[in-house]
Structure formats: C-alpha cells, structure tokens
Amino acid sequence: MCRFPERDRWRGFTLIELLVVVAIIAILIGLLLPAVQKVREAAARTTCSNNLKQLALACHTAGHANDHLPRNLVQPHPTDLYQNLHNRGTWLVMVLPYVEQDALYRQITDLGLDGATAAGVLPRKLPLLRCPTDPTDPGAPVSNYAGCHGPQCWVGPCGYNPNQTHCNGTGNWPAEPTPQTLNPPTHPRYAASPNWGYTTDSAQVRGMFGRFGPPIRLSDATDGTSNTLLLGETLPDQRRGRGTGNWTRAVVTTLATTIIPVNHMTDYTSPDGCTVAPERYFENHNVADGFKSRHAGGANFALADGSVRFLRQGIDPRTFQYLGCRDDGQVASSE
C-alpha cells in the first residue's frame, strides 16, 4: 500500500496563500459594501416617505374634522418680529391625535407648553418625525418634516438675499409686512407676500401653512391638490433653532419656503457667517429655511392630495414655486 510522507499529509496553507485568500475576501467585501449601503439608503428613504405619507393623511383627517388644516396656534407680537404671543403649539402638535398620539396631545393641551416641559412631558422625540437618513442626534426632539409655506418672501439678516426674487418681491431688514413687488415679477401669477409670513391673513400666505396659523383648507388649493406641495423634508442642524428647538414650540422652524432651492445646505455655524459665508450661514433665513435632506439628489415631499413624490434638487425654480403656491392658476407637475 502506498503511503504519503507525513509532512505532505499534514501540509497547511502557506503565508502567500493566506494573503491571497484575505485579499479575495477584502475585494468581495468592497464589492458588497456599496450594494449594502444602497439597500440601507433605499430602506431609509422608504421609511422617510412613509412618515410623510402618514403626516399628510393625518393633515387630511384633521382638515375634515376641524374645517381647516392643522395650524400653528400663536399670535404675532405687534412690534418684535422675533417674539410670538400665546404660543399653544405648532401644527405638529395639532396633528398628534391623528397619528395615534392622542394621550400626548391631551397632556400638552391640558398643561400648556411650559407646564408640559416642567412636568417632563416635553421635550419628546417622536420616531414619526425623524428621517433615518439624517445623522442629526437621533434622540433630539426635532422634526425632519416641515409644512410648505410656498414662495413666501423670506428676508435674511446678512444683506445677502438671492432667493427673495422668487417670491416676486424685495425686502428690507427687519422684515416688513408689505415688501416691494418686483415689476415684472420673476414668476407671474402670484404677488409678493409679507416677509417671514408675518400675517394672520390666509390670503397673503402662498402655501398650505402660515407662520401665525391662518386657517387654510384643502379646498384653498385651487391649483389642484395633486399640483400643490403640502409637506417636505428639512434638516434640523441646517438652521439655527431647528437643531436644538422643540417641535412643539418652534414656529418658523416647522415651516419651509420654496424660494430656496432643494438641498441648499447651510452648514456654516460660526458667528461671522454673514461676513465669511452668507450663502451657507445657518442664521441667514433667506438661504437656511428651505427644504433639504441627506438623500442623494433631492428630497421627499407630500402633495396636498396625500401622495408623496421625490423632487430632484435641480428642479426648475419656476416649477418649484408654482408647486409651492396653492392658488397661482399655474398647473405645475411634480412628475
């Protein structure tokens, strides 16, 4: 019987062979990682889209129950644009009973915002208000979703206001109730509007939500609910007040304006932003208060008919404004 030498029978891998195997495994992992990341992003984007869908349908239910969409319950200060009076909560508070958060809603309304904070009820993180793609502190009591203010004039404090033209107006600082209308308008069919949405008159609000809660109904979207933006994504850390604020109390920061391009990032946070980087300064409202996300190429939006669409960040500015404005007589498509 033939016998193999003992050293051949127990021969193991050489160092070179082991290195080759490790290299092959590393290559396979390198090939698989992008695919895994794409799957994770697709799942996160789907979750984000579903959150918007739930909020949009809740807005519909609230609209039918109350004869108007959920709104900010706050009054403007007569002289100080930075102050809000009698703040009883934002539109996100008003929508709570329609997203299975009735108990939280009752606590907030019974105790008031200050009382709920003192009692430890607030601040509160709600998974429904967070997009998994956003790396902002997942435990922060903030919202990735904002009501659409439409092409509302939105002056900033830096004297750098390149987006004001899209609201068909000009503006000064501090913001004025009646900015000067451009002639001819950048986008015909809607008039200039009060800066920062500083009005309680729904007729002066271009979108489906107003800063001081004027009652707006789905029927006010005379351009058609399938052609009007209702909600969209935003990034809390891209605007001062969104990243540390409470979604129940903030007013302007629960809204966004379409005059700012989709995914225009404002990640400069140092106090010298007006001088060094006004185009991306998180306190320059004219560039910071827009719709944005960490999704590649655009952001999710809910239309007033309850459907959700992904709008690319290079969308034509005129189309974006007409989608944001509920009653300009221009039928714009999100497709």
Mean residue pLDDT across the chain: 88
Lowest mean pLDDT among 21-30, 122-131, 136-145, 261-270: 21-30
19 within a domain of the structure (yes/no): no
Q: How many CB atoms lie within 10 A of CB 313?
A: 16
Rg (CA), the chain: 25
pLDDT of amino acid 36 = 57
Joined together, the tokens standing for residue 29 give 């992992």
Q: How many CA atoms are closer than 13 Å to the CA of 175, on its beta-carbon side?
A: 25
Per-residue model confidence as pLDDT tens digits over 175-224: 776 788 899 999 999 999 988 888 899 999 999 999 999 999 999 999 99
Q: Evaluate whether 119 touches 100 at the Cβ level (below 8 Å).
A: no
Joined together, the tokens standing for residue 42 give 């697709």
Lowest mean pLDDT among 99-103, 155-159, 202-206: 155-159
237 within a domain of the structure (yes/no): yes
Is pLDDT at 138 greater than 70 in this prediction?
yes
332 within a domain of the structure (yes/no): no
264 within a domain of the structure (yes/no): yes
177 within a domain of the structure (yes/no): yes
Quote the domain boundaries for residue 251.
36-324
Total domain count, the chain: 1
pLDDT of amino acid 167 = 96
Per-residue model confidence as pLDDT tens digits over 218-257: 999 999 999 999 999 999 888 876 655 579 987 777 899 9
7 within a domain of the structure (yes/no): no
pLDDT of amino acid 9 = 53
What's the whole-number mean pLDDT along residues 275-279?
Answer: 96
Using pLDDT thresholds of 50, 70 and 90, give the confidence band for residue 164.
very high
Q: Is 90 exposed, middle or buried (0-12, 13-18, 19+ CB in 10 A)?
A: buried
β-pair type (255-257, 145-150) = parallel
What's the whole-number mean pLDDT along residues 116-128?
Answer: 92
Give, in degrees to the nearest 5, the angle at Cα 299 between 245 and 262: 80
15 within a domain of the structure (yes/no): no
